Amino acid sequence: MNRKNLLLPFLLLPLISCQSNSGTDVEQSRQIGALEQKQRIILSQIDDLEQKHKNLDTKVSDLEKRLASLQAKVTNIENQKVADNKPKPQEPDPNKKYDIPVGESFVLGPRDAKVTITEWMDFQ
Tens of pLDDT, residues 72-91: 999 988 888 777 777 777 88
Residue 67, pLDDT above cutoff 90: yes
DSSP code for 124:
-
Q: How far apart are CA 112 and CA 84, in angstroms?
A: 45
Inter-residue contact 14 to 39 (CB < 8 Å): no
Phi-psi region of 43 (alpha: psi -120 to 50; beta: other; left: phi over 0): alpha
DSSP character string of 91-123: PPPTTS------TT----S-TT-SS--------
Within the chain, residue ranges assigned H as helices are 3-17, 25-85
Q: Which of 39, 44, 37, 29 is nearest to 9 (CA)?
A: 39
118: confidence class by pLDDT, cuts 50, 70, 90: confident
70: confidence class by pLDDT, cuts 50, 70, 90: very high
Q: What's the pTM value of the predicted model, to 2 decimals?
A: 0.41
User: Which is higher by pLDDT, 27 or 15?
Assistant: 27
